[in-house]
Amino acid sequence: MTAGSTEPAGGTASNEMLRVENLTKHFPLRSGVLGRRTGSIRAVDGVSFSLGRGETLAIVGESGSGKSTIARLIIGLHRPTSGRVLFRSEDITGYDDARMRRIWRDMQFVFQDPHASLDPRMRAGQIVAEALAIRREGTVAWRAEEAVRLLALVGLPAEHATRYPHEFSGGQRQRLGIARALAVRPKLLLLDEPVSALDVSMQAQLINLLHDLQAELNLSYVFIAHDLAVVRHIAHRVAVMYLGRIVEIGPRQEIFEQPSHPYTQALLSAVPIPDPEGREKRSRIVLRGEPPSPSDPPSGCPFRTRCFKVAPICSTEPPLRDVGGGVMSACHLAGPAAANSAGAAEAKGTVDA
Ligand SMILES: Nc1ncnc2c1ncn2[C@@H]1O[C@H](COP(=O)(O)OP(=O)(O)OP(=O)(O)O)[C@@H](O)[C@H]1O
Ligand code: SF4
Ligand SMILES: [Mg+2]
């Protein structure tokens, strides 16, 4: 069994919204003046997961771990090197724009930087009304009214409809991006770091909004973030990525309370704990160095060059396997006994008290 061929727990067949199977994207690595192909960037390397209706899967990992590439593969902005994407049981892998147009009514993308995706010459109301026109519903007047209703739904008052994107704050622009995405009445939102550019209080407000919208509209979310703290209150399940692979995936509670993979343990050790008692019990794990290049990943366990628990067995690749509690983990040492053992880190790594 390889990491990619495993099917983690997720939505059951009847309520399944999205399934990706062994999804892989290798970009050509070119060098020299002629731009000859000299290798591959393994941006996404055999990723599998599923997502149920009304469910949020958070995808978390450091910069360059392949999170955005997964979202782009799902929405059809990239073609996979191999693997499949199934949306409501329909195999949409490799669909061209013409065929994806129907899918985009049900699946929308919210970008990290709404600045880049909002037309600076259009007013907020027009931006949302234009998205409404995709469904070819209603008159121009109806669409203008509906745009104001959608702006209100995301907490932007009616008078904001006449503003241009640059006249909004970062948080308001992100709300506008969400209103535009909701205009086509999607079932699934791919949210690529939707709150990363915002300050902490604005992040909380936007996460509350997404939470309420999910309950009201029965939306499914793929929520991408750098940081586990951001997804703590919104994720139902969490997938942790490292070098293009899922290294751990499972229910939020298990991931936060009993992380089985040393990488998850390290990420989690950086998350502030609200109660001071818990803070005392947990040590901060500082990982050595930067992640290796996805064009030259380590052999064996991809995390072994930075892992504080590395052992001789780690020169062989660990499969993503069931370690109990609905969690799949790609660590040879993972298991109920190894869970949450940040304090048991060996002297090989740096553990800051
Ligand atoms: N179009 C592309 N051509 C070549 N390489 C790419 C392309 N898009 C992404 N990559 C590479 O693929 C890897 C994964 O990139 P990706 O953008 O998916 O990471 P990410 O996890 O979203 O990072 P971040 O947190 O910084 O947004 C990186 O090494 C990146 O440089
Ligand atoms: S398999 Fe080895 S190197 Fe990889 S995460 Fe587990 S202990 Fe660390
Ligand atoms: Mg990204």
Structural domains of the chain, ranges and CATH numbers in brackets: 13-106+186-352 (3.40.50.300)
| Predicted pLDDT at 286 | 86
Q: How far is the CA of 316 from the centre of ligand 2 (A)?
A: 10
Strands 188-192 and 220-225: parallel
Closest C-alpha to ligand 1, atom 27? 63
| Predicted pLDDT at 137 | 77
Residue whose CB lies within 8 A of the most ligand 1 atoms, among 37, 38, 41, 267, for a mutation test:
41
Distances (CA, A) of 16 to 20, 86, 104, 322: 11, 9, 17, 21
Q: What is the number of the ligand 1 atom nearest to the C-alpha of 226? A: 25
Average pLDDT, the chain: 88
What order do you get walking across the sheet with 107-110 strand by strand?
107-110, 188-192, 220-225, 56-60, 237-242, 245-251, 327-329, 321-324
Cβ 252 under 6 angstroms from ligand 2: no
Q: What whole-number distance in Å separates Cα of residue 196 and Cα of residue 179?
A: 18
181-228 pLDDT, tens digit per residue, is 999 999 999 999 998 888 888 889 989 999 999 999 999 999 999 989
Q: How far is the CA of 158 from the centre of ligand 1 (A)?
A: 38
Q: 217: alpha, beta or left, given left = phi > 0 and alpha = psi -120 to 50?
A: alpha
Which ligand has its closest atom nearest to the C-alpha of 39?
1
Cβ 307 under 6 angstroms from ligand 2: yes
Dig out the tokens for 262 from the structure: 């040393």
234-265 pLDDT, tens digit per residue, is 999 999 999 999 999 999 999 999 999 999 99
Q: How far is the CA of 245 from the centre of ligand 1 (A)?
A: 13
Strands 188-192 and 36-52: unpaired
- Percentage with pLDDT > 90 across the chain: 71
pTM of the model: 0.90
52-103 pLDDT, tens digit per residue, is 999 999 999 999 999 999 999 999 999 999 999 999 999 999 999 999 999 9
Handedness of CA 191, 192, 196, 197 (dihedral sign): negative
Cβ 310 under 6 angstroms from ligand 2: yes
Q: How far is the CA of 341 from the centre of ligand 3 (A)?
A: 30
Going by pLDDT thresholds of 50, 70 and 90, the confidence category of residue 275 is: low
Q: Residues with Cβ within 6 A of ligand 1?
A: 27, 41, 43, 61, 63-69, 226, 294
| Predicted pLDDT at 162 | 96
Question: C-alpha 326: how far from its chain's center?
Answer: 19
Q: How far is the CA of 74 from the centre of ligand 3 (A)?
A: 14
| Predicted pLDDT at 134 | 78
Closest C-alpha to ligand 1, atom 30? 64
161-182 pLDDT, tens digit per residue, is 999 999 999 889 999 999 999 9
Cβ-contact 134, 157 below 8 angstroms: no
Q: How far is the CA of 201 from the centre of ligand 1 (A)?
A: 28
Quick one: which of 212, 241, 221 has its CA closest to 17?
Answer: 221
Closest C-alpha to ligand 1, atom 11? 43
